[in-house]
A and B are shown apart, each in its own frame.
Chain A
């Protein structure tokens, strides 16, 4: 299962890295007359029943205001592979693009935006998660280890950052920036804000774990052997929180991706036409999405695959106690109800 998770993650990251090749079109390429067009499904057998190289039928607009399309089965548009630096695209002219995941409300290819958007969303989410991890684990670890007034101070400090309205901070920060946002600054700001906002959840859980682990025998043993505070914390206690941290991170990452769109409400986001999963989902916010344009929810599906992969990778990374077997070799006991029964 773990291997499957790793494969999923690898595919997603590869697609993001290879975006210019994997995506048939650039993110801002608008196809006139194809707003919210459905996906063009590749076929291999045509109307007459003959076998062909993969091709698509183009869309013809049936009603512009209602955004209804019908397939034009009289035209066969073959797919073009490995041309112009793209993995696959359609041989058709401007009017007959390959829309494997349909088009959005501006007529832009959803798949291309998904793949390019992965770069931005993953980068922000991973960087923010790393930041939150560092901050949260450190704060939580120290608080749980030290206890007393320092513990209170640190916890109340992290409470302060939870309660402070993040939107206001974003608004204030936005006003201090230039009118036209440089992408790098946006990236840095978003990462910073998310790291600060996500850290308290990690801090609390880590603190609780460290606090109780501290009372365990092995901690006392290590201390009596001469381990200093830092070593005790970093090498023995914090790793006990590994499992919790893993799960928490897999929940923070999709939350960050989505929150990027929420902050763009106050103007602190990547400007149009830059693609990110959060803003793509924001565009999908309409009743018609569920009934008529479900392909607009592809970023949610992509996030699901990402989270699934992450989950499969981290879920059994939690610490299980180590025993010494009869022959003296260390063994980790991985139990579940089945092995207990057996």
Chain B
């Protein structure tokens, strides 16, 4: 067990460094840099050179990477050129904002999507089942940008909910401001969980042991919700970690439209502005979340399917 965890941890560290290094390398290859971002098209050659020297962008990739690596080993991940703050300060701040959204959306989506999936998986015919399925499919066909825009639009028209933002200027109202972005994040997840769970349930329910349990006289709802469900959680448990990991990295579509200052928006902004250390930092943070998520996932899998534990 200890060995397993140690191995996972080691791999996670390797992943973080691999992803950050790859991001830095890709940033060099991508055309333009922070100087093209700030000075724009009408800048003179000398101005550009001076600015590049000032930001250290005229060094060779090797030198830049070496300095970054040495800093990273001391847990100094460089400075963001856009915000002129250490990357290590910026990211936890934004990660917290995204985390609030992500975890709430996850809980909501699980509590709604899973049971709905059980319903449609066990009752394959009927209006209720059909309606739920149809709604799921609609949600899967809408791009997240449009879903978010629609929800913000609905909030604006209804007048009860704030249009964008995380808190009011006095710092209150977090819950009210969360409603739209959480809905935008959760709805596609609900659809995904419902579909996956539905499939898994309909497979499980035909298994002999289920039929046998029912034959023994256990009430139907118990059969479904206790015995079948436990074994049908396998597929969802397996991708749960991925979902958690990607959610925690932030959805830039939702965050941009709802003006939620999260990690997704930060990452996209950093990519656009070629703020290289910030991009590397965001990618590193994303890999940390993913590593945590997959660890969670495998733990959940072990719980759900004890046959595979103790690997």
Contacts and interface: CB of A to CB of B under 8 A. Distances in A.
Are A and B subunits of one complex? Answer: yes
Interface of A: 147-149, 151-153, 155-156, 159-160, 162-165, 167-169, 171-172, 175-176, 200-201, 204-205, 207-209, 211-212, 215, 243-244, 246-248, 250-251, 254, 258, 261-262, 278, 281-282, 284-285, 287, 290, 297, 300-301, 303-304, 306-308, 311, 315-316, 318-321, 323, 332-338, 340-341
B140 A254 contact: yes
Given A159-B287, A172-B30, A212-B307, A243 B199 contact: yes
A212 B239 contact: no
**Secondary structure of the B contact surface, majority rule:** helix
Contact of B301 (A176, A208, A332, A335): A208
Interface string B1-40: 0000001100110110011001100110111000000000
Contact of A164 (B19, B235, B308): B19
Nearest to B125: A338
Interface stretch (B81-89, B97-105, B144-152): B144-152
A168 B24 CA distance: 10
B161 to A, nearest CB: 16
B126 to A, nearest CB: 9
B245 interface: yes
Contacts of B245: 159, 162-163
Interface stretch (B49-57, B60-68, B176-184, B289-297): B289-297
Contact of A285 (B12, B19, B149): B149
Nearest to A140: B238
Nearest to A144: B308
A167 B192 CA distance: 24
Interface of B: 7-8, 11-12, 14-15, 18-19, 22-23, 26-27, 29-31, 122-125, 133-134, 137-138, 140-146, 149-150, 153, 192, 195-196, 198-200, 202-203, 205-208, 210-211, 214, 220, 223-224, 234-235, 237-239, 241-242, 245-246, 249, 253, 267-268, 271, 279, 282-283, 286-287, 290-291, 294, 297, 301, 305, 307-308, 311
Contacts of A262: 253
15 contacts: A164-B283, A168-B23, A171-B30, A172-B29, A205-B235, A212-B308, A244-B196, A247-B195, A281-B145, A300-B143, A300-B146, A311-B195, A315-B202, A338-B123, A341-B220
Nearest to A306: B141
Contacts of B246: 162
Given A164-B19, A171-B26, A300-B142, A204 B199 contact: no
Contacts, number: 199
Contact of B124 (A152, A332, A336): A336
B104 to A, nearest CB: 22
A95 to B, nearest CB: 31
B271 A244 contact: no
B146 A334 contact: no
The 6 closest A-B pairs by CB, nearest first: A208-B238, A303-B141, A320-B206, A258-B143, A304-B141, A172-B29
Contacts of B145: 281-282, 285
Given A208-B237, A211-B308, A246 B211 contact: no
B137 A159 contact: no
Given A164-B283, A336-B125, 18 more contacts: A155-B294, A156-B14, A162-B290, A163-B286, A163-B290, A165-B267, A175-B29, A204-B241, A205-B238, A212-B234, A246-B199, A254-B140, A281-B145, A285-B149, A307-B140, A311-B137, A332-B206, A340-B205
Nearest to B197: A247
Nearest to B271: A167
Contact of B203 (A281, A284, A320): A320
Given A163-B249, A244-B199, A318-B199, A201 B205 contact: no
B242 A212 contact: no
A254 B141 contact: yes
Given A165-B23, A172-B29, A334 B206 contact: yes
Contacts of B311: 147-148, 151, 211
A201 B7 contact: no
A152 B224 CA distance: 33
Contacts of A171: 26, 30-31, 271
Contacts of B305: 208, 212
B29 A208 contact: no
A301 B19 CA distance: 37
Contact of A168 (B141, B199, B279, B286): B279
A333 B206 contact: yes
A292 to B, nearest CB: 12
A163 B123 contact: no
Given A162-B246, A205-B239, A304-B137, A318 B203 contact: yes
A308 B131 CA distance: 12
A297 B14 CA distance: 44
Contact of B18 (A149, A160, A176): A160
Residue of B199, B249, B308 with most chain A CB atoms under a 10 A cut-off: B199
A2 B213 CA distance: 30
